[in-house]
Amino acid sequence: MDEVRLRLGWVIAYVDEPAVAAAFYERAFGLAVQFSAPDGTYAQMDTGATKLAFAAYALGEQNFAGGVMRAPLDGQPPNVEITLVAEDVDGAFERALQAGCAALAAPQDKPHGQRVGYVRDPFGTLVELATMS
């Protein structure tokens, strides 16, 4: 059997309104919208080789039976996080809070050299803000 090689192409967060989520990520994190579907079911950010995208819960239901579970807006965050890299994590954290994210953990230095903070966006997604190392 030939070896199958995979690479990460997209991270897709399901939300009610992908265009609204994309506009929020422009304001909160300075990311640019690369593509937004005319029917409103999908929006993709310009994040380099691996794309961050938002898809409508309704699209998930079209893709497979039952769709995806909605992300909770409080309590424990879901089991996946989006990590956005910044040189100034403290500044990115404050910008995210001002835009409407909820603080989960203020930026702190980690033993391995990174500075890391955590927020939850208004759609329930866990977002890590971190330096590269």
What gap in Å lies between CA 14 and CA 59, rounded to an integer?
9
Q: Are 43 and 54 in contact (CB under 8 A)?
A: yes
Give the type of residue at 44: Q
Q: What is the mean pLDDT of each run of 10 residues along the chain (133 residues)?
A: 89 97 98 96 96 97 95 93 96 98 98 96 97 89
The candidate with the shortest Cα–Cα distance to 88, out of 127, 129, 57, is 129
> What confidence tens digit (pLDDT) does each residue in 7-31 have?
999 999 999 999 999 999 999 999 9
pLDDT at 1 (0 to 100): 64
Q: Are 25 and 93 in contact (CB under 8 A)?
A: no
pLDDT at 133 (0 to 100): 77
What gap in Å lies between CA 28 and CA 25, rounded to an integer?
5
**Confidence (pTM):** 0.93
Structural domains present in the chain? 1-70 (3.10.180.10), 73-133 (3.30.720.110)
Query: Which ranges of the chain would DSSP assign to H, the alpha helix?
Result: 18-29, 57-63, 89-99
Residue listed under structure tokens 């640019």: 32
